[in-house]
Amino acid sequence: MQIASAMSRHISRGVGPLEVQEIIGFLAGADPSPSTAGGPRKTILLRGIVEMLSALVEERGLTDPDVDEFLALAEEGCYEVARNDGGIDAARRGLDIGPWYAGEPFVPADEYLDLGALWIPSREGIQIEPMSSDSTSGCADVTLVLDGTALQLQVFRRTEDSTWRAVRHDLLRKIRASHSRASETLGLAGIEIEANQAVTMQDGSSTFMRVRFLGCDGPGWFLRGVVTGTGAEPESLEQWPYEVFLNTVVQPVPPGGGSDTIPLHPPVVP
């Protein structure tokens, strides 16, 4: 295959010829070989795809159709790797990427606002909407607002039905059943859902609202983020909702109560 031979001339020493062949085979739809199936293969695959894409820039012997074909396969391959992983790499979460769990050794040294079950990074200009609570259940969620974009955060006890994979499936089903559009996409926090949801206004009229759903599984917990406003638009380049989501620290999960939702309290500075 011309693409494979071209890539092997330009790939770095970190990815050997056999791995190049495996990557090409994976992108073409082949099953992984028994000797490389499992966790290590996933790491090699993602790095290898990036290096092979870079090599395309240097390779003059490929025709435009070859390049287009490979880019299409690479895009689908990266999407499948992230999909199979359920979003954020579980092996990396807590090491070099968040959301974090209290007590993990690599939690960034940052200024946080204490909401009880969640500590959220303090960022200049971000406003927290008033949080209402009662003496029994506390606050169910918190909403942060900046420049027309809102991020709602909510943390749950993790169960078989509250993993990010299960929640995505349920959200897609419910949104589509309401005659709204929704799809899975790759974002800065892994797999997310982009939706154009039908909503009813206070005057009874109907309109559509753009929404992005983020999620991450942790040890005993599941963190969900909901982005609305200008940051949820398809052309938006807003990064602060992702930065806050990925740097949020989940505190030790209290014993289970009558709800999977872990209550929060109004913010205090630790």
* Residue 91 pLDDT greater than 70, yes or no: no
Instruction: Return d(Cα 107, Cα 113) in angstroms, integer.
Output: 15
Amino acid found at 45: L
* Residue 83 pLDDT greater than 60, yes or no: no
Binned at pLDDT 50, 70 and 90, residue 224 comes out as very high
Choosing among 3.30.390.10, 3.40.50.620, 3.20.20.70, 2.60.120.1690, the CATH entry for 100-268 is 2.60.120.1690
Q: How is residue 129 written in tokens?
A: 């909407």
Amino acid found at 144: L
Within the chain, all domains assigned CATH 2.60.120.1690 are found at 100-268
The average pLDDT across 109-123 equals 90
Q: pTM score, two decimals?
A: 0.68
DSSP, res 70: H
pLDDT tens, 20-71?
Answer: 555 555 555 554 444 444 433 343 344 555 566 666 555 556 667 776 776 6
